[in-house]
Chains A and B, each alone.
Chain A
């Protein structure tokens, strides 16, 4: 069974021989990967395999470490991201982290529009109200918080906080949304809500999600990349990769032999 080849039109994000690491120790080794537009792509692999570092290279968060190094190319719509100002790049590529991290000094409302207000964007009240309601509806949080919009974001439950963080990223209308194990700190019920949300976002935004939860990758993603020891072992449509893995290591990982 051959994987369908992605056309240049379908690809939004591409890495070419991306190698990255810290102080002489590379943790990502020459990963070349093409991420399809407006689909969910899961990046799975055992802990410490470099999947988070790989993801942080995409929006240039990796280079915030003092001793970070990176080589190779990351292309967003054909444009090398290392030629784009990181501040502008990060407005086009949103990110959500493992642990929910709403701004503790801000209300739920202010958290949603934080990307605008912190950047000093001038918006009138109606415009802000609209973004807040629209975005909170998109992350299915509106009905739960509409009466508490001016309470601190940190008073929400963990799962709600994580959806608020997704809302905060989505409010900037990014082309790509990076999710770094967004459910690893949440209970099963909150996890299910986030998964449902991710599936519902398909077709409106490109999602790249790092996970070490194999069933989760199978449930929500259209494409899956398997990274092991910094190398891209296999990449393909999720259905095919989970049923007919081409690489022996993928098969072993999926059957729980390591990881």
Chain B
């Protein structure tokens, strides 16, 4: 018993004595500290639960309201005119996938290259300027990005299009990917770069074939987080991809998307449409959660030991 108490003092760990064994009589000061320990632990637990609560509530609410409208028809059919029951959101699902594909094609290569630049020469003048710009872009409200995409693409081409929506989303994804790539690559030990250079490997090949693969898990995580973030954006799509009641595959035409469908149906006065909005929310939520889950898997599975 005495050594148990000694361990408590030494390691700061509370060892519960086996059942039926009386806890050693500790002096008042130790007991006070033990009570303090428990109170702190309790407080931390309570606050963590509080942080989880909103997510649980949102999930529960959307599952209860949304899952009931999910069926094969909902996923594969087009929306029907107002007043008519049934119909689906297949065009919005396809639209969101196309929009994200367009945004990814633009932002993933750019973001990774910019991240490489920042990690390689982030201390140069151009590096500092780049980091400042990327961090500022991260903070620009998404509706402002939407307006910029409107002026750049919609006004130039003369009509709303999925392309303009993809450009807007790519500006939202770009800083996420750039900064997470930089952060990952900065953690790659210098010894790895030296190993490659000492073998007579050129600098570009060292960066692209040694350093980038070593940071692959972090880079992919950044790209997936960027996609997850862009998937839920509504504001920049309002006046870029605009929305469409038809199944559209042409990226030069207006296109439906999940967040916009939710916005449109949820604000409508028809109960049929409102339940479609819940269903669409459910689909979007599943999509984003799945992306986050894949991200976690990628990070844990592909983790490279140095």
A residues adjacent to B (C-beta < 8 A)? 59, 61, 64, 87-91, 94-95, 97, 99, 101-105, 114-115, 118-120, 152, 154, 165, 168-169, 172
Looking at A91, A97, A105, which has the most chain B CB atoms within 10 Å of its CB?
A105
Tell which of B86-94, B128-136, B188-196, B226-234 binds the partner: B188-196
Instruction: Report how far A95 CA is from B191 CA in the complex, Å.
Output: 12
Whether the Cβ atoms of A90 and B200 lie closer than 8 Å is yes
Whether the Cβ atoms of A64 and B197 lie closer than 8 Å is yes
Partner of A103 from the list B192, B200, B205 (CB cut-off 8 Å) is B192
Whether the Cβ atoms of B198 and A154 lie closer than 8 Å is no
Ranked nearest first, the 5 interchain pairs of A and B with the lowest CB-CB distance are: A91-B200, A90-B200, A95-B198, A101-B191, A115-B199
The minimal Cβ–Cβ distance linking B218 to chain A, given in whole angstroms, is: 13
Asked if B38 CB lies within 8 Å of chain A CBs, one says no
Partner of B205 from the list A91, A120, A168 (CB cut-off 8 Å) is A120
Residues in B whose Cβ lies below 8 Å from that of A87: 200-202
Whether the Cβ atoms of A61 and B198 lie closer than 8 Å is yes
Partner of B194 from the list A88, A101, A114, A172 (CB cut-off 8 Å) is A101
The minimal Cβ–Cβ distance linking A231 to chain B, given in whole angstroms, is: 26
Asked if B210 CB lies within 8 Å of chain A CBs, one says yes
Interface string of B251-294 (1 = CB under 8 A from A): 00000000000000000000000000000000000000000000
The minimal Cβ–Cβ distance linking A5 to chain B, given in whole angstroms, is: 32
Residues in A whose Cβ lies below 8 Å from that of B300: none
Instruction: Report how far A229 CA is from B13 CA in the complex, Å.
Output: 51
Residues in B whose Cβ lies below 8 Å from that of A64: 194, 197
Whether the Cβ atoms of B199 and A114 lie closer than 8 Å is yes
Whether the Cβ atoms of B205 and A104 lie closer than 8 Å is no
Which residue of chain B has the shortest Cβ distance to A96 in the bound complex? B198
Residues in A whose Cβ lies below 8 Å from that of B194: 61, 64, 97, 101
The minimal Cβ–Cβ distance linking A29 to chain B, given in whole angstroms, is: 24
Residues in A whose Cβ lies below 8 Å from that of B202: 87, 119
Partner of B210 from the list A59, A97, A103 (CB cut-off 8 Å) is A103
Asked if B72 CB lies within 8 Å of chain A CBs, one says no
The minimal Cβ–Cβ distance linking B305 to chain A, given in whole angstroms, is: 5
Instruction: Report how far A168 CA is from B191 CA in the complex, Å.
Output: 15
Looking at A64, A118, A120, which has the most chain B CB atoms within 10 Å of its CB?
A118
Residues in B whose Cβ lies below 8 Å from that of A165: 195
Residues in A whose Cβ lies below 8 Å from that of B213: 105
Asked if B209 CB lies within 8 Å of chain A CBs, one says yes
Residues in A whose Cβ lies below 8 Å from that of B216: 105
Residues in B whose Cβ lies below 8 Å from that of A115: 199-201
Instruction: Report how far A203 CA is from B74 CA in the complex, Å.
Output: 77
Instruction: Report how far A155 CA is from B135 CA in the complex, Å.
Output: 38
Whether the Cβ atoms of A104 and B195 lie closer than 8 Å is no
Which residue of chain A has the shortest Cβ distance to B196 in the bound complex? A118
Instruction: Report how far A89 CA is from B306 CA in the complex, Å.
Output: 27
Whether the Cβ atoms of B200 and A89 lie closer than 8 Å is yes
Whether the Cβ atoms of B191 and A97 lie closer than 8 Å is yes
Question: Can you list 30 contacts pairing A with B, beta carbon distance less than 8 Å?
Answer: A59-B198, A87-B202, A88-B200, A90-B197, A90-B199, A94-B198, A97-B191, A97-B195, A97-B198, A99-B191, A101-B192, A101-B194, A102-B195, A103-B192, A103-B210, A104-B305, A104-B306, A105-B216, A105-B304, A114-B196, A115-B199, A118-B196, A119-B199, A119-B201, A119-B202, A119-B205, A120-B205, A152-B305, A154-B306, A172-B199
Whether the Cβ atoms of A94 and B214 lie closer than 8 Å is no
Beyond A64-B194, A90-B198, A169-B199, 4 additional pairs, beta carbon < 8 A: A90-B200, A104-B305, A118-B196, A118-B210
The minimal Cβ–Cβ distance linking B122 to chain A, given in whole angstroms, is: 13
